[in-house]
Amino acid sequence: MLDKKDDHLFPGIKQMKSFFSRHQNTSSSQNNNNEIIGGSLGLIQHTRPSNLPAKNPAEEMQHRKQHDEILEKARKIDERVKKKNNELRERNIKKEDKLLCNSATWNNLIIPNFSTLRYKKNVYDLWWSGLPPSIRGRVWKLSINNTLNLTIDIYNECEKKIINFADNKLHNDYLTAIKLDVSRTFPNLCLFQNNGPLNESLNSVLSAYCVLRPDVGYLQGMSFIAAILTLNMDKCDAFICFSNLIDNPCHKAAFTLNQNKMNVYYNLFMKILSINIPIIYKHFLNSGLSPDFYLLDWIYTIYSKAMPLDIVCRVWDMFIRDGDEFLFKTAIGILNIYQKQLLNMDFVRGAQFLKKLPDNLCADELFDSIKQININIDGNNFQKMVDESL
């Protein structure tokens, strides 16, 4: 810090000190004036300058009345905003309290006894409300049947073979496509892009799967499924769960490009749609908007590209609990929510709308809509109808 005795060493110091002192005083005065003018007093019409005619009493009263009306309107708006914020805060507190309570129930009671409790009605009801994020990965891992009998040793062996796998041109094409798609998966999260913390894990899961199943290889859409799993568990568990999910009948038909089997699912879906929302069924027929233009992408990614991520995870909770039929109930539930908008859309607009649903989609609204959907026909459940048609 420079003292007055040092001023002679720097000739411009005195002038600078004088300038900044004046500037601070001026700024302080201006700020004080701004506070007065910017406050509610600034709305009152002050006495006019002497060179202008004075206000008459009627005009003065009118201006004060207008001033009071403006203040009252501002007060009411402020009260509404405060009330809305308080309600939102209370809802969030209730959600957090419920989440903590549910987490404790899952951790202390259900997960340790999962095999015996998973089919109990109270557990089903709790599951429907959404799994707490802190235990979601563990519950998914327990719920997805490891019918392929995969282990950590098998995963490690597949990882070792990735380099040799790339020597084959077709297999190298898979790995190149994986690397490209991983960098484009959930770009807003910045987790899977190059140098992102989960980039290597997602690459590894998908590449190891290609080594495991070179007959299936890699197709676009797989990266989103593997990414959801990688977000919720380590890469070895993600590989085991991914491989088994892809092996379920519906996804197996989709990813092996078995058109005959996919047509069975499409036809069944349209039949369910005609029963639940006949007006949308007719509109889609007339506009030519067939299921392969929207339903296939939903199935390919298990809705990961179509919805906000928090809602996607809730859909996954129920899909992992109930199987393929929940994918189709969700599809009808979506169309039920947006039927008014869809009725005013042609083929192109409808296909674009369904590819990426609105960001303001509400989870509670979606699940209330899904509850209304009847997926059974003539007393037959979904899987039985699929089995009879294949």
Q: Does 283 lie in the same domain as 226? A: no
Answer whether residue 75 is part of any domain. no
- Which pLDDT tens digit goes with each residue over 347-386? 999 999 999 999 999 999 999 999 999 998 888 889 889 9
**pLDDT of amino acid 167:** 84
In CATH, what number is assigned to the domain containing residue 153? 1.10.8.270
Q: Of the residues 200, 223, 247, which one is the last residue of a structural domain?
A: 247
pLDDT tens readout for residues 114-136: 999 999 999 999 999 999 999 99
Q: Are residues 232 and 288 in the same domain?
A: no
Is 153 part of any domain?
yes
Q: Rounded to whole angstroms, what are the CA distances from 65 to 59, 61, 62, 71, 76?
A: 10, 6, 5, 10, 16
Domain of residue 325, CATH code: 1.10.472.80
> Does residue 46 form part of some domain?
no
Provide, rounded to the nearest whole percent, the portion of the chain with pLDDT above 90: 67
Give me the number of domains the chain comprises. 3
CB-based contact 303:315 (threshold 8 Å): yes
Q: Distance (Å, rounded) from C-alpha 239 to C-alpha 241?
A: 6
Q: Give the pLDDT confidence score for residue 378 in this predicted structure.
A: 85
Task: Give, in order, the Cα–Cα distances in Å from 305 to each of 87, 90, 129, 225.
Answer: 31, 31, 22, 10
CB 332 within 8 A of CB 270: no
Note the pLDDT tens digit of each residue in 19-31.
445 444 444 444 4
Q: Is residue 1 part of a domain?
A: no
**Same domain flag for 267 and 170:** no
Residues 6+ apart with CB under 8 A from 194: 183
Question: Is position 388 within any domain?
Answer: yes
For residue 296, what pLDDT is reported?
93
pLDDT level of residue 53 (50, 70, 90 thresholds): confident
Quick: pLDDT tens for 77-88. Answer: 999 999 888 888
Which amino acid belongs to residue 229? L
135 in any annotated domain = no
Same domain for 231 and 254, yes or no, is no
Residues 98 and 177 in one domain: no
- In this prediction the pTM is 0.78
Same domain for 386 and 279?
yes
Asked whether residue 228 falls in the same domain as residue 261, the answer is: no
The pLDDT value recorded for residue 46 is 55
CA distances to 110, 226, 385 from 261, rounded to whole Å, are 37, 23, 13
Residue 343 has pLDDT above 70, yes or no: yes
Same domain, residue pair 237 and 264: no
Domain for residue 137, yes or no?
no
Domain that holds residue 112: 83-129
